[in-house]
Amino acid sequence: MALIQHILFLCLALFCSTTSVSSHSRHYSTPSVPRLTDLFNRVAVNHSFSNAFGAHNIKLLNNGSMVNLALDKTSGSGLASVEKYSYGFFSAAIKLPAGLTSGVVVAFYLSNADMYPHSHDEIDIELLGNDKRIDWILQTNVYSNGVSTGREEKFYFWFNPTLQYHYYSILWNSHHIVFLVDNIPVREFPNNGKFSAAYPSKPMSLYVTIWDASEWATHGGKYPVNYKYAPFVTSVTDMEMAGCTINPKQPDSSCSNASLSGIDPVGGPDFVKLSNQQVTAMDWARRKLMFYSYCKDTSRYKVLPQECK
């Protein structure tokens, strides 16, 4: 009997240890990639952004070069870029809140919902809080022309995003949208073939926010925000915004229009397609870390979006 109990104890211990291993505790050898974040100048948060909401939870630091955004019982907080952009490279180094953060979302995204409330576009990086058993999750999404169809893909991290700053970046031009983490592409959304109908094309603002998404963020809303652990603070620095800024009097301008500022910084041949190195790195990320794609969700979509077929 004692032997059986000992065996059962060992089995239980092994089960607990395997189920509690976090995704970022696994050891990955990450692929080598070009550092796109080294190609563009950083911008001052205090000069390039305005308060979008929750001003009392926004704290500028280091002479305006970085910012802490907080979520508490009163509200979340967020910033919006002063300029609107038609294509560009957008990046930030972000350190996420530690501890129990179920229901919390930190978002770094482009949107024009303020200008086109009924036909808006979005390009989203959403960082979804953890519930102790599952770590922070990276979710990417694309919306176009007000179509409510979500095009989410979800990934585990290969690091602990709460311990130090990591780069989250969006490359958007007439050829493709690329989502990158620490310069590693994790997703490409091309502007060709069946994808073109769902491709964002109108100028957008850049936002960085933290907010309560209890109704959907963690296991479909099963685990809401627990304000016992508030405030939840995310820290943001090394902001980059390099793109065509639009003339507010001509909001439907394109990047080739003379009313825009300068030349499209991501319109050159180096940004038309991913390099072989980047393709290899993206394949690695998707094989190792992606665990959900809308194109495989037949329970959600009786008819899959056109680009999935």
| Structural element, H or E, at residue 156 | strand 153-156
Cβ atoms within 10 Å of 86's Cβ, excluding its own: 25
Give Cβ neighbours of residue 71 (< 8 Å, ≥ 6 apart): 57, 77, 104, 210, 211, 212, 225, 230, 231, 232, 233
Selected catalytic residue, list 122, 153, 188, 240: 122
Question: Which tokens hold the place of 31?
Answer: 């692929």
Question: Which tokens hold the place of 171?
Answer: 């490359």
CA 309/CA 307 separation, integer angstroms = 6
Q: What residues are paired with 94 via a beta bridge?
A: 166, 236
Q: Is 83 marked active-site?
A: no
Q: Is 126 marked active-site?
A: yes
Taking alpha carbons only, the member of 206, 236, 175 closest to residue 90 is 206
**Taking a C-beta distance cutoff of 8 angstroms, is the pair 244, 261 a contact?**
yes
Selected catalytic residue, list 83, 126, 188, 240: 126
* Half-sphere exposure of residue 92: CA atoms within 13 angstroms, side-chain side: 28
Coil/strand/helix, residue 284? helix
CA 296/CA 309 separation, integer angstroms = 10
Active site residues: 122, 126
